[in-house]
Structure 1
Amino acid sequence: MNCKLVCLTLFLAYGLQAVAQKSYQLDSPDGKLKTVVNVDKIISFSVSHEETEVLAPSSISMSLEGDEILGLHAKVAKVTRSAVNKVIPSPFYKKAEVTDSYNGMSLNFKGNWSIEFRAYNDGLAYRFVTRKKGDIVVKSEEASYNFSKNYETFAPYVNSKAPTFEQQFFNSFEQPYVNEPITELNSGRLMILPFLVTLDNGKKLCITEADLEDFPGMFLNNSTEKPSLKAVHAPYPKTVEQGGHNRLQMLVKQREDFIAKTTGTRTFPWRAFIVSESDKQLTDNDMVFRLASPNRAGDVSWVKPGKVAWDWWNDWNIYGVDFKAGINNETYKYYIDFASAHGIDYVILDEGWSVNLKADLMQVIPEIDLKGLIEYGKSKNVDIILWAGYWAFHRDMEKVVKHYAEMGVKGFKVDFMDRDDQQMVNFLYEAARICAKYKMMVDFHGVFKPTGLNRTYPNVINYEGVNGLEQLKWSPESYDMVTYDVTIPFIRMIAGPMDYTQGAMRNAARGSYRPINSEPMSQGTRCRQLATYVIFESPFNMLCDNPSNYMREEECTEFIASVPTVWDQTMSLDGKVSEYVAIARRNGADWYVGALTNWDSRELELDLSFLGEGTFKAEIFKDGVNADRAGRDYKKEIITIPANKKLQIKMAPGGGFAARIFK
């Protein structure tokens, strides 16, 4: 073969390859973030931020029943691009408005489907879109998120050590983080979202999802020796059986060989990749809220965020009264009196008000007169929230919601879902819709992380899906809640609000914590508990301790009760994942500042230049000089903010700082 023929053959081969593989680039509005999508035998995408590789080429596809794989040998029919810059109103959020600014690209493929990409200054999101007739069955959605280096991660495993993924799909989505390289993560355990990766150049990548509707949630797993994370979804339940906690759960006994059966024309959940240049940026990220579907509940002026006096964590253990404390009218009137005296909006009746083991919310125990308590609360400007186990609520949902709405109850705390398969995701949407119909708020507990349902149905006022303070009722002395507290603002809180249920008045310095169910305590200092009301996003926020303890601590209680639960503005001040965090939030004319540290004592200089011109004073709560030995030691002061707007603070080990700043 002569040289000309060889060269021609090589040219044709290269040319055919070039034609077969097409690349499409999408940049963020500021040009720092770049995404390249390659369409060849498979579809892959990569992400970089300036000189930092965020994701190496990562393949994505979706397999439908009938052996159709969206993403295999795909043919691009049309490419559409867009640029969006708008403002989203967000009345029950950490800011009054959310800026939604991105460049979009939709790759439309032959076969009536597409993939949409959005490039924001702070990350990338993609989702599948189908335009099929009738219904479809989704066998799986495949994704391998690849990295060229074995980066460190902050990974939350499911809180189940069951040997199979099928068993691990049943979990409460509450778990501390392990800090391990990708290849050393346990291949036998599922990991929940959000998931954090430490990149080069001080940057971080947080992986999560948004607009999760009519589809199962995503887990991650690493099953290779390479630094790669694979998407895993719970298959659809085939048979379920009542059981679990007080027979309030539906346990999956058998699953189908597909993950979703759904309409053929729809958008699928967004897969979000949030990129930060500094850790503190993670504590004020709006990606999930931006990507969620807009409000479907209509007028939500009746939704009233606020504080809640909570009974369960403190085990109804009030004292200094002349009646037997417990789940009875006298005890709840005491809670209502306390809430009324401190401007607290709600009292919750947690588990125990309905007859046990019946899974029937229409059966109220004889010790409780619900109508009487509701009327008593109204006379004191305090409303009632009811706890409900999942199956008791689901089995006759509209009847239950209508009945208690007419009685004057303002919402439900629904608990023990403990799954995120398609069936359970659909329950959340249905519960939100029906509660909105009857002007009822809902706080989901025993639930997966938020994915933006609180934007779609703003009456969804809070979520658990967090390893909150309840763990300290039973966890061993070796348990480390303090480090967890300075980790979740950078990871879990990205997904949305979290009902961590803070406010303990028994505060244990390091080495002093013990699990006591009826008289539980927190780890760290008193000021730490106060600061969490500023740091943790929580529109519907519990006071976990009992009224008797709060009434002995009037200064702290007044501050807790006065901290707003929704905000006009949020500013990230400083922070490093698992070490410390400082955040400022504004409501009206007043700013609130909170800071937390891990078990290291810490001094910070907070830049308050956002206050602008003028003289400002601050009511501050700082760790006492002996807070390292007696966690309850604190000092309250009124100070003048320095003219240079630089505030020096000092925190004890496991400590915190809280302030209200006013002009």
Structure 2
Amino acid sequence: MQIDKCLILCVFSVLTIFSYAKEIVIQSPDKKYNMVITDEDGYLHYSLKWNGKEKIMPSLLGIFANRNWNDGLFIDKVNFSIKDTTWVPVYGERSKVRDNYAEYELHIGKLKTKDKLILDVRAYNEGMAFRYRFPGGQYLKIEDEYTEYSMPEGTLAYFTPKAQTEYVCLPIDSLKGETERPLLMKNIDGSYTCIGEAQVVDYVRTKYVLADNKKGTLRAAMYGPVEDIAPYYTPWRYVMCANTSGEILENNDLLLNLNLPTKIKDVSWIKPGKVMREVTLTTKGGKEVIDFAVKHNMQYVLFDAGWYGFEYDKSSDATTVTLDPRRNPDPNALDLQEVIRYGKSKGIGVILYVNQRALQQQLDEILPLYKSWGVAGIKFGFVQVGSQVWTKWMHDAVRKCAEYGLMVDIHDEYRPTGVSRTYPNLMTQEGIRGNEEFPDATHNTILPFTRFIAGAADYTICYYRQDFGRLEKQDDNYGVPRSRTIKTTPAHQLALAVVYYSPFQLLYWYDKPSDSKDEPELKFWDDVYTTWDDTKVLNGEVGEYVTIARQKGDEWFVGSITNNQSRKLSYPLDFLSEGKEYKAEIYEDGDSSLPSRTKVKVYSCKVNNQDKLNFNLKPSGGVAVHFVPL
């Protein structure tokens, strides 16, 4: 291996001496990724092979920043380095993360100007990443990006226009308008490619649209302009390839590696946990949820919208407890300080919802106030996303929360790009079509391979299917009424606590403590964790089914869900420690074909890593298993 590195360094020393190299070959440490960058005819193009197969055909690179960095370009010199380290996250899907890559710094010149552009490229075994960097001290106005992704013929993509809309699998050229990132694509040979962005901190959101007059080609679509002063760099653009969609999910630590190490010196106050929402906005209701949380091994209670007034009114004061009469007409119903004190006496923290209208006006005032109240965290509501102004504001707000020891849950359209590595007080975020939208099981089996590649998501998991007695129009505007009812089985919802990763895991979203009848199946949520030592995707197909296993200490938890169809599902237990026996506590939908909260079958058996479990999953169903060493 040492000889290999020396040879590579010698080759790139030669490249540094001779300017105007026309072709640069970039390889990942395991040699599986092979990217070629050329400056032929004054244009920068790249192509990508993985395992010897073409995944991205020659595609344009470039950016408009003060001038057009698109034509008249040449590769001036190349610097090269290798990094191989391991770091320990504050929390995560794994207790250790390897950060191993070859880094290439391509200095790009432009004819008739002395300005310089640097193209940083990192080659990981998990994927390739690149960004544009401006080394000078000039004022920058970035107005467009020319990055393209020319896909092989027959490629399909899982499109969704917004962070909380449904996914649809279509040929690349059928895309209408923008599609969200990450974007998972299926190649004609059955393998997968995923593109996305990482470390979006002081920039704009970038989605994807069809390139004009280029069949099968996507291009980056910036939300709007970016203004700053160099030195400055864009977010990373990454490409991940794998034989299965599950392998891409297993490699999503790539996004964390593309972000800076934590800037929080003392992280002892950052504590993941399970959360239950309080909606009555009363002292009595708050204490009841706290008692329920204690009984069911939960760690936090969330006071949702309405505790400080009508959240959409900019005059509502988030430094006061002033109940929104739309949610509770009794202005004296909630003594928030008493609830916080009661929670502390029981070991339960309180999280407060604050709409961005109040956050934008009062952030510097409420942070020291909430710290003095003993609040554990803030849920940002109805945030603005996309523009550079709001992107920067959002991450500055997370940083300021860290200064006051407050954890954060960002809701609505915000999607993560790995920033939780730098500010691990950002526990989770929405940016997902979760149970608030009452999605079906097929949608739920798409999410692990699309949205969750980006990181944690607050899906708002439910258990008791409450029909709220209200009818709403469908999103298609056809006027078809529907009831607000969870569309999956109880075991499906139980399994989501393992399938879906979220350090703040919101459980019982539409439920109340009074709904509980001490059902034995709730023990699974009592026992489950929200962060993990290891994570494995045991099986799965996008939109069909998925099984994910997660380890905490000596215990393993496994969640399986199917789409709207019934399914026979099995998986070997070779992830368990060799030579040990385990008690497998199994939570499976009962014999009834109709979903019912009283129809969960709970049983156990003794297993080891030579065994295999087999299940018959109901339509929209699932199964959850807790493996405890004996």
> Is the aligned partner of 1:388 residue 2:392?
no
The one-letter code matched in structure 2 to 1:58 is S
The C-alpha deviation readout for 1:524-569, integer Å capped at 9, x for no partner, is 2110001000000110011213233552143233321321000011
- Between 1:512-521 and 1:108-117, the stretch displaced more is 512-521
Instruction: Give 1:376 deviation, angstroms.
Output: 1.4
Mapped partners of 2:239, 2:523: distance in 1 = 40
Aligned residue runs from structure 1 range 65-464, under 5 A: 65=66, 68-110=67-109, 111-158=115-162, 173-186=163-176, 189-224=177-212, 226-235=215-224, 259-285=225-251, 286-311=253-278, 316=279, 326-356=280-310, 357=313, 358-365=315-322, 366=331, 367-464=333-430
Q: Please, which runs of 5 or more residues in structure 2 have no aligned partner? A: 1-18, 110-114, 323-330, 474-480
Partner in structure 1 of residue 574 of structure 2: 609
Mapped partners of 1:398, 1:306: distance in 2 = 26
The one-letter code matched in structure 2 to 1:460 is L
Contact 1:627 1:633 in 2 (8 A): no
Aligned residue runs from structure 1 range 551-570, under 5 A: 551-570=516-535
Instruction: Give 1:135 deviation, angstroms.
Output: 3.2
SS at match of 1:640: strand
Instruction: Give 1:223 deviation, angstroms.
Output: 4.8
- Between 1:432-441 and 1:261-270, the stretch displaced more is 261-270
> Is the aligned partner of 1:47 residue 2:13?
no
Contact 1:551 1:557 in 2 (8 A): no
Q: 1:200 to 1:437 in 2, by over 3 A?
A: same
TM-score, L = length of structure 1? 0.84
Instruction: Give 1:341 deviation, angstroms.
Output: 2.0
Partner in structure 2 of residue 495 of structure 1: 454
SS at match of 2:25: strand
Identity %: 30
Contact 2:147 2:219 in 1 (8 A): yes
Instruction: Give 1:145 deviation, angstroms.
Output: 1.3
Partner in structure 1 of residue 496 of structure 2: 532
Contact 1:338 1:547 in 2 (8 A): no
The C-alpha deviation readout for 1:416-455, integer Å capped at 9, x for no partner, is 1142211111012111111000000000001321001111
The one-letter code matched in structure 2 to 1:60 is L
The one-letter code matched in structure 1 to 2:235 is P
Contact 1:302 1:439 in 2 (8 A): yes
SS at match of 1:523: coil
Select which of 438, 442, 445 maps to 1:483.
442
Q: Please, which runs of 5 or more residues in structure 1 have no aligned partner? A: 1-18, 159-172, 236-258, 317-325, 473-479
- Between 1:390-399 and 1:543-552, the stretch displaced more is 543-552
**RMSD of aligned Cα (Å):** 2.3
Aligned pair count reads 582
Mapped partners of 2:595, 2:80: distance in 1 = 60
SS at match of 2:165: coil
- Between 1:94-103 and 1:638-647, the stretch displaced more is 638-647
Mapped partners of 2:183, 2:435: distance in 1 = 21
Contact 2:301 2:348 in 1 (8 A): yes
Mapped partners of 1:547, 1:345: distance in 2 = 16
TM-score, L = length of structure 2? 0.88
Mapped partners of 2:464, 2:566: distance in 1 = 21
Contact 1:505 1:521 in 2 (8 A): no
SS at match of 1:396: helix
Instruction: Give 1:343 deviation, angstroms.
Output: 2.2
Instruction: Give 1:152 deviation, angstroms.
Output: 1.2
Partner in structure 1 of residue 32 of structure 2: 32
Q: 1:435 to 1:519 in 2, by over 3 A?
A: farther
Contact 2:464 2:597 in 1 (8 A): no
